[in-house]
Amino acid sequence: MNTQLQNCRADFPILSREIHDQKPLVYLDSAATSQKPKVVLDAIQEYYQLHNANVHRGIHVLGDESTHIFHESRQRIAQFFGATENQLILTRNTTEALNLIAWGWALDHLSEKDVVITTEMEHHSNFVPWQEVCKRTGAKFEVVSVTQEGLLDLQDLSLKLHRKDGLRVKLVAVVHVSNAIGTRNPVELIAKMAHEVGAMVVIDGAQSAPHLPISFPSLGADVFAFSGHKMLGPMGIGGMIVSQHMLEQMNPVLFGGGMIDEVTTDLTTYADLPDRFIAGTPDVAGAVGLAKACAYLTHLNMNDVEQYDRELVVYTLEKISAVEHVKILGSLDSNKRVGSVAFLLDGVHAHDVAQVLDSEGVAVRSGHHCTMPLHRKFAWAASTRASFSVYSTKTDVDVLVSGLEKVKSVFNLG
Amino acid sequence: MNDLYQEVILDHAQHPRNFGVLQSPTHTFREMNASCGDMVEFYLLVQDNKILEVKWRGVGCAISTASASIVSEMIQGLSLEEVRKLDAIHVMKRMGISTIAPTREKCLMIPIKAVKQLDMDAK
């Protein structure tokens, strides 16, 4: 691990907070949202203090600066994913990006003769939009199984792609890294399999973008969607990298200022790709903050970030599986997981686990983590998840483990 | 937290009262909290505007389980007008707590919302 990464904890002001009678904050809920380094907070404030003006409008110094800063930020964000500015569509978050594909592409390209494939381990945001668009177009909605180990059943995917019912698979939507069980899916292979039958490939990268180096061209997908706030950036900004092939087939969903070419009372023509997908004043400060987060992560080196995440996952799997009455969810093979470890504690509801852990200063997530189909399949009422970011440490995991002993004593579990 | 997991709550959570089903209830009310997977179902036997018997079953955290158990005790023998007046404050008082964090409010409220359906039913 490089020294920048080793010492990065000090860059996050919130982590020095103490809670519940001076207990240090142990933040293990980064998969829900990451904390933000000071450079990101400063960049947002600097934008508003020195450069704030609407983009693409005012012919004045601030307008020029703001426009320049916005484009530079977009370039940096795109570069972080190995893409170019004209492949980037900024949205509020992953959910909005996926919906933009559902309503800006799928709605006009699906019929009763088509199939959309997603999986049992999807976050609701990469599940419900496809379910809904299938309902409206009459297309068939297919869901690939998850194995008992918590991996995607690629044989099932292959069967659903190579169909005998005469229907065409138009789209495969799959999560890169599961937010609930941490599974890292072989998306390059899945993209190849899907492209062989001519389907578009959409990847939900919300949980992979914070932890893995991403090269959009090597993924081979048509869409890679991400959320800024999960990768050290501010809330309210995210986006997707989109292939030219997909961009050319998409229609705008939001209409109005900024996205037009010429408006007459008879007819409106739209701006060039991808500007026609950005209607209204964009979140410039959000883009500035996200670009700074990308620069910060690049400075830490994403290969090292990936390596460090694996170290934490290995350590957590080892420590938590040694706790009696705990069952780890998902694969026990750390090579197949990224970013988080979720578990069940016998006889204690996840909410109660989280509540007692909170009293020890430990922030974890409890519930179904927006993956109800997965929880239902395995009959988990709710689970508790510890998730990491670059600032997480093995000491955080140690405090979690001793917190679990306290949970057990409160609920009289031997 | 030390304030939250009071002896009363833990006792009711681990030994829920009136847990089970009624053979021939006059009313069955179900309430869910999808966001945490909690579910309660109340079975009531109501005669002459009075709750004669209560049973309930469900899955949930310690707070929702204790709340359901306490509510099942509280509403036994009550009239519909009295059920109408039941609120979170009464249940919290029985639990021995004075406040509840906003993130746990739903857990406390699920059983109360379930039996309040009786109120709507009667209107």
Q: What is the pLDDT of residues B76-120, one digit of tens each?
A: 999 988 998 999 999 999 999 999 988 888 899 999 999 988 866
| Spatial CA neighbour of A233 closest among A17, A82, A35, A96 | A35
A366·B4 Cβ contact <8 A: no
Work out how many domains chain A is built from and give that number: 2
Do residues A270 and A405 both lie within one domain? no
Number of Cβ within 10 Å of residue A154's Cβ equals 15
- Write down the pLDDT at residue A410: 93
- Give the chain A residue whose CA is nearest to the CA of B9: A411
Number of Cβ within 10 Å of residue A166's Cβ equals 6
Say if B36 is an interface residue toward chain A (CB within 8 Å): yes
List phi, psi (to 5°) of A105. Answer: -130, -60
- Write down the pLDDT at residue A381: 86
A410·B10 Cβ contact <8 A: yes
Do residues A25 and A143 both lie within one domain? no
Do residues A278 and A315 both lie within one domain? no
- Write down the pLDDT at residue B122: 56
Do residues A360 and A404 both lie within one domain? yes
- Write down the pLDDT at residue B2: 55
Number of Cβ within 10 Å of residue B37's Cβ equals 23
Instruction: Give buried/exposed letters for A358-389 (b at 16+ CB in 10 A, else e).
Output: bbbbbbbbbbbbbbbbbbeeeebbbbbbbbbb
Rounded CA gap, A281 and A256, in Å? 10
Give pLDDT tens digits for A117-175. 999 999 999 999 999 999 999 999 999 999 999 999 999 999 999 999 999 999 999 99
Position B72 in a domain:
yes
Position A36 in a domain:
no
Confidence of residue B5 (pLDDT cuts 50, 70, 90): confident
Say if B34 is an interface residue toward chain A (CB within 8 Å): yes
Do residues A289 and A305 both lie within one domain? no
CATH number for position A165: 3.40.640.10
Domain membership of residue B74 as a residue range = 7-122
- Write down the pLDDT at residue B37: 74
Say if A349 is an interface residue toward chain B (CB within 8 Å): yes
CATH number for position B13: 3.90.1010.10
Position A350 in a domain:
yes
Partner-chain residue, chosen from A20, A349, A375, that has the shortest CB–CB distance to B62? A349
Q: Is the pLDDT of residue B35 over 60?
A: yes
Indicate the pairing of strand A114-119 with strand A168-175: parallel
- Give the chain B residue whose CA is nearest to the CA of A348: B61
3-class state of residue B21 by DSSP: coil
Question: If you write DSSP's letter for every residue of A195-210 in order, what string do you get?
Answer: HHTT-EEEEE-TTTTT
Position B1 in a domain:
no
| Spatial CA neighbour of A311 closest among A391, A384, A393 | A393
Amino acid code (one letter) for A126:
N
Indicate the pairing of strand A114-119 with strand A88-91: unpaired
Position B79 in a domain:
yes
Position A366 in a domain:
yes
CATH number for position A345: 3.90.1150.10
Position B74 in a domain:
yes
Position A117 in a domain:
yes
Rounded CA gap, A89 and A287, in Å? 11
- Write down the pLDDT at residue A328: 97
Do residues A65 and A103 both lie within one domain? yes
Do residues A290 and A361 both lie within one domain? no
Quick one: tokens of B11?
């006792």
Domain membership of residue A329 as a residue range = 3-30+301-410
What 8-state DSSP symbol labels residue B91? H
Q: Is A370 one of the annotated active-site residues of the chain?
A: yes
Position A307 in a domain:
yes
Do residues A291 and A325 both lie within one domain? no
Do residues A7 and A77 both lie within one domain? no
Rounded to a whole number of angstroms, the distance from the CA of A357 to the nearest CA of chain B is 9
From A298, A315, A341, give the residue that closes a domain. Answer: A298
Burial bucket for residue A115 (CB in 10 Å: 0-12, 13-18, 19+): buried
Low-confidence stretches of chain A (pLDDT < 70) are none
CB A121 within 8 A of CB A329: no
Position A190 in a domain:
yes
From A264, A298, A332, give the residue that closes a domain. Answer: A298
Position B59 in a domain:
yes
Give the helix ranges, DSSP H, for A243-362.
Answer: 244-247, 284-300, 302-321, 350-359
Rounded CA gap, A250 and A108, in Å? 9
Rounded CA gap, A92 and A236, in Å? 5
Do residues A257 and A310 both lie within one domain? no
Do residues A188 and A244 both lie within one domain? yes
By residue count, chain B amounts to 123
Rounded CA gap, B11 and A349, in Å? 15
Work out how many domains chain B is built from and give that number: 1
From A229, A263, A298, give the residue that closes a domain. Answer: A298
Position A160 in a domain:
yes
Position A111 in a domain:
yes
Do residues A288 and A310 both lie within one domain? no
| Spatial CA neighbour of B106 closest among B41, B56, B31, B55 | B31
Rg (CA), chain B: 14
- Write down the pLDDT at residue A210: 98
- Write down the pLDDT at residue A398: 98
Quick one: tokens of A54?
């609407």
